[in-house]
Amino acid sequence: MDQATAQVTANGVIAQNLTGNGPMPSRAGVGLKPEHYRDILDASPDIGWFEIHAENYMGDGGPPHAYLTAVRERYPLSLHGVGLSIGGAGPLDKNHLARLKALVDRYQPALFSEHLAWSSHDTVYLNDLLPLPYMEETLATVCAHIDEVQEALQCQMLLENPSTYVAFAETSMSEVEFLREVVRRTGCGLLLDVSNVFVQATNHGFSASDYLDSFPAEHVGEIHLGGHAEDSDDDGEALLIDDHGRGVADSVWALYSRALSRTGPKPTLIEWDNDVPSWPVLFAEAKRADAVIADRRSNRVRVSA
Amino acid sequence: MIPFSDIERDFAWAVLDGEASVPGPLVGKSGRATSGKTVTRSFAVYQNNVYASLIDALASRFPVTARLVGEEFFQAMARIYIGCEPPRSAVLLRYGTSFPDFVVQFSPAGSVPYLADVARLEWAWHAAYHSADATQLTLAELTEAGPDAEDITISLHPSLGVVRAPFPVVTIWQISGREGKDEPTQLPDGGEDALVVRPKLDVEVRRLPEGGAVFVLALKGGATLQEAASSAMQEAPAFDLKANLAGLITSGAIVSVR
Amino acid sequence: MTAHTKKISGLAIGCSFAAALGMAASSQSTTAADGVEKCYGVAKAGENDCAAGKGTSCAGTSKIDYQGNAWKLVPKGTCETMELPDTRKGSLEAVDRDLPPA
Ligand SMILES: [Fe+2]
């Protein structure tokens, strides 16, 4: 798709249509969990959209595809990859790209996103989003990989800022500088995970507000919010872990408001992947995000009136 | 300047080998060096993520295997398997195909001799769950297509699998898969062969009668009905073709007849 | 090929097929009914996630707890209540066959 049509409509009610597959509303969505298939299909709850982890739908057939097909008939979809290893040193897995393309063709998602992280080394898949140093070499590799993805999928992708627990001595630029340069070179958009910003800020001792204020907000196509766990590092200081195992913390909700004030209303995902709650609990969390978006909208209207 | 490929290699090794030291060029909060002989808690988050998530994946894929030996034993066994045979694809739903073979030669599990057979049955269930879909023939279609042909070839559902076991694997799987209190059970003598198939969206597991496994495997391999029946009779002279065919039909395993 | 091959003539196969259809038809009438709640099948969790595990000390990293003691660990699950017969035949003589349905 022509990247010109993927320009962000700043503060627009409807986010840009990244893949040409229909609009993604600027409201809350949630991760589609097998635990909730029946709740969703029985009651068709009023929720903006669903996001799936692409790899969970890479089987040949069976119930996962049957459920997803039924859900897709009723809701917009965001395809979120977790295994492409865009931040890896080696080449992208062509077979994996082809599997992603098949999912894009079959389910026509409105958005496709992946992570600034790596998960494969040689032929081993480590099943985690592992960190990379931010330097010229990795910048060039990441950009080449994103070019390849956008070429293969024929759409703009969104790149997500990660949660990290360690940093590298080799790093020579900040994460925001790195992301800004990736966007400039590839024309990709960004997925701003506000929880990841909070987790990283605590783990690495920087200001989450400063990070958000310097983030290239005009390129954000989606926002993530998720719960985190608290642990401690070797020095007994706070070590936050992005476990998606509970509701979003109040401090993260506050940061979310701050982020929206810069990006305008954006499709916002509640990520709750471990200890998945009952549907009403998850739905209520999404409604809370919708309320923040509505609040943001009315603020903007008041300011511009 | 260390090339990223070297950093990635060291990082990957250190994640997989829980006893390796933290890879050199890592820094912690405010740039404090964290390299050293012990694995720091921050780096351990990655080791934990990788192993815990894969152990969980195996436990959900082999739930009865896990119940048979208990959570602690299963986790320890799974951890060793993951270290020996980590995933080779980002598509985790394909991970674990070699786990039953690993269980066979995992000597601490030797006191549960049927454990690998149960794992094999669970993998067949998992494979059937994610297999390609196909429409089974209805009775009417079968009636129209079948009876006159001399050398009928039956195409079976792509989800179909056969597990042959010298132990009563279906009985063990049924008893251990049940919710509720674990009652002492005297297992039946002899082995059981299982037919696993997902005709629509529910995976079904059935015991195969005598000669049934040979019969179904032959059909699956492309043999004609006559050839498959002959093979089955060679192994089990009492092989009942009519009953076996009826079983295949009612389990929705037949997708075409030529 | 053995003598069995000859016994199963084309005609015999045809007869068996027709008879099997009859058996299947009579058993299906009693075991039909896929309820509405079953029309999508069992929903099994997908395992690819972008979330982290539960900290630094659960099953994943406790290598010392698990691997160090692995050889001392013994199976302690439902297998404890299952007894295999003393005299095992090791043949394929299965019991309680449920294919085809009785
Ligand atoms: Fe995220």
Compute, in angstroms, the gap from residue A276 CA to the centroid of ligand 1: 16
The average pLDDT across B185-195 equals 91
Tell me how close the Cα of A303 comes to any Cα of chain C, in angstroms.
38
Which residues lie closer than 8 Å to C31 by C-beta, 6 or more apart?
B250, C101
The rounded distance, in Å, linking the Cα atoms of A33 and A52 is 8
CB A154 within 8 A of CB A190: no
Q: For residue B221, what are the domain limits?
A: 133-258
Q: How big, in percent rounded to 5, are the helix, strand and coil portions of chain A? A: 45, 20, 35
Tokens of A97: 């790209």
Task: Decide: residue C37, CB within 10 A, 0-12 exposed, 13-18 middle, 19+ buried.
Answer: exposed
Query: Which residues in chain B touch residue A58, judged by CB atoms under 8 angstroms apart?
Result: 91, 93
Q: Is A264 left (phi over 0), alpha (psi -120 to 50) or beta?
A: left
Q: Is B30 left (phi over 0), alpha (psi -120 to 50) or beta?
A: left
CB B133 within 8 A of CB A62: yes
Count of other CB atoms within 10 angstroms of residue B91: 22
- Per the document, the length of chain C is 102
The rounded distance, in Å, linking the Cα atoms of A178 and A86 is 14
What is the distance between the terminal CA atoms of chain B, rounded to a whole angstrom? 66
Q: Where are the domains of chain A?
A: 27-304
The rounded distance, in Å, linking the Cα atoms of B64 and B124 is 13
The rounded distance, in Å, linking the Cα atoms of B37 and A229 is 27
The values of phi and psi at residue A271, to 5°, are -100, 115
In A, minimum Cα distance to C53 occurs at: A243
Question: pLDDT tier at B82 (50, 70, 90 boundaries)?
Answer: very high
The rounded distance, in Å, linking the Cα atoms of A178 and A175 is 5
Q: In this complex, which of A67, A82, A83 lies closest to C43 when CB atoms are compared? A: A67
**Class of A27-304 per CATH?**
alpha beta
Query: Which residues in chain A touch residue C55, judged by CB atoms under 8 angstroms apart?
Result: 229, 231, 241, 243
Closest CA to A59 of B59, B85, B193, C41: C41
* Complex ipTM over 0.95: no
pLDDT of residue B151: 72
Query: Which residues in chain B touch residue A121, judged by CB atoms under 8 angstroms apart?
Result: 8-9, 11-12
Give the burial string for B152-166 (b: 16+ CB within 10 Å, else e).
bbbbbbbbbbbbbbb
Number of helices and strands (H, E) in chain B?
Answer: 11, 7
Q: Examine residue B4 and state whether it is found in any structural domain, yes or no.
A: no
Pairing mode, if any, of strands A124-130 and A118-121?
antiparallel
pLDDT of residue C56: 63
DSSP A70: H
| CB pairs < 8 Å spanning A and B | 160
Bridge partner residues of A189 (DSSP) = A158
Q: Inform me whether the pLDDT recorded for B8 exceeds 80.
A: yes
Q: Examine residue B225 and state whether it is found in any structural domain, yes or no.
A: yes
Q: In this complex, which of A121, A135, A165 lies closest to B45 when CB atoms are compared? A: A165
What is the domain count for chain B?
1
DSSP C36: G
% of chain B at pLDDT higher than 90: 71
Q: pLDDT averaged over chain B?
A: 89
Q: Examine residue B82 and state whether it is found in any structural domain, yes or no.
A: no
The average pLDDT across B6-27 equals 81
E-strand stretches of chain A: 28-31, 49-53, 77-80, 111-115, 118-121, 124-130, 158-160, 167-168, 189-193, 220-226, 229-232, 238-241, 268-271
CB A88 within 8 A of CB A118: yes
- The domain that holds B183 is classified in CATH as 3.90.930
Tens digit of each residue's pLDDT (9 = 90 or more) over A41-59: 999 999 999 999 999 999 9
The rounded distance, in Å, linking the Cα atoms of A250 and C100 is 59
Q: Examine residue B202 and state whether it is found in any structural domain, yes or no.
A: yes
pLDDT of residue A234: 77
Tens digit of each residue's pLDDT (9 = 90 or more) over B42-68: 888 898 899 999 999 999 999 999 999
Q: Is the peptide bond before C100 cis (omega within 30 degrees of 0)?
A: yes
Q: Examine residue B83 and state whether it is found in any structural domain, yes or no.
A: no
CB A112 within 8 A of CB A158: yes
The average pLDDT across B224-228 equals 92
pLDDT of residue B180: 72
Tell me how close the Cα of C56 comes to any Cα of chain A, in angstroms.
8
% of chain B at pLDDT higher than 70: 90
Query: Which residues in chain B touch residue C102, judged by CB atoms under 8 angstroms apart?
Result: none
The dihedral of CA B52, B54, B60, B62: what is its sign? negative
The rounded distance, in Å, linking the Cα atoms of A81 and A149 is 11
Q: Examine residue B31 and state whether it is found in any structural domain, yes or no.
A: no
- Per the document, the length of chain A is 305
Compute, in angstroms, the gap from residue A113 CA to the centroid of ligand 1: 10
Q: Say whether A62 and B91 touch across the interface (CB within 8 A).
A: no
Q: Examine residue B199 and state whether it is found in any structural domain, yes or no.
A: yes
The rounded distance, in Å, linking the Cα atoms of A205 and B34 is 15
The rounded distance, in Å, linking the Cα atoms of B209 and B193 is 8
The rounded distance, in Å, linking the Cα atoms of A82 and B6 is 23
CB A159 within 8 A of CB A86: yes
Give the burial string for C51-61 (b: 16+ CB within 10 Å, else e).
bbbbbbeebbb
Q: Give kind and range of the element (H or E) at residue B256.
A: strand B254-257
Which residues lie closer than 8 Å to A304 by C-beta, 6 or more apart?
none
What's the CA angle centered on A128, arms A218 and B126, to 5 degrees?
115
User: What is the residue-level pLDDT of chain A in tens, covering all 305 positions?
Assistant: 333 333 333 333 334 445 556 689 999 999 999 999 999 999 999 999 999 999 999 999 999 999 999 999 999 999 999 999 999 999 999 999 999 999 999 999 999 999 999 999 999 999 999 999 999 999 999 999 999 999 999 999 999 999 999 888 889 999 999 999 999 999 999 999 999 999 999 999 999 999 999 999 999 999 999 999 998 887 788 899 999 999 999 999 999 999 999 999 999 999 999 999 999 999 999 999 999 999 999 876 555 44
Q: Say whether A57 and C46 touch across the interface (CB within 8 A).
A: yes
Which residue matches tokens 């039946």? B188
Q: In this complex, which of C63, C67, C94 lies closest to B193 when CB atoms are compared? A: C94
Q: Inform me whether the pLDDT recorded for B131 exceeds 50.
A: yes
Tell me how close the Cα of C38 comes to any Cα of chain A, in angstroms.
10
Q: Say whether C23 and B246 touch across the interface (CB within 8 A).
A: yes
The rounded distance, in Å, linking the Cα atoms of C36 and B74 is 36
Which one of A127, A138, A240 would you mutate to disrupt binding with B, by most B Cβ within 10 Å of its Cβ? A127
Which one of B40, B77, B148, B242 would you mutate to disrupt binding with C, by most C Cβ within 10 Å of its Cβ? B242
Closest CA to B48 of A284, C64, C55: C55
Q: Inform me whether the pLDDT recorded for C67 exceeds 80.
A: no
Which one of A94, A115, A165, A242 would you mutate to disrupt binding with B, by most B Cβ within 10 Å of its Cβ? A165
Q: How far is CA B166 from CA A27, B122, B154, B231, in A?
A: 57, 16, 28, 20
Q: Inform me whether the pLDDT recorded for B37 exceeds 70.
A: no
pLDDT of residue B147: 57
The average pLDDT across B152-163 equals 94
pLDDT-wise least confident of A139-153, B73-87, B194-208, C74-88: C74-88
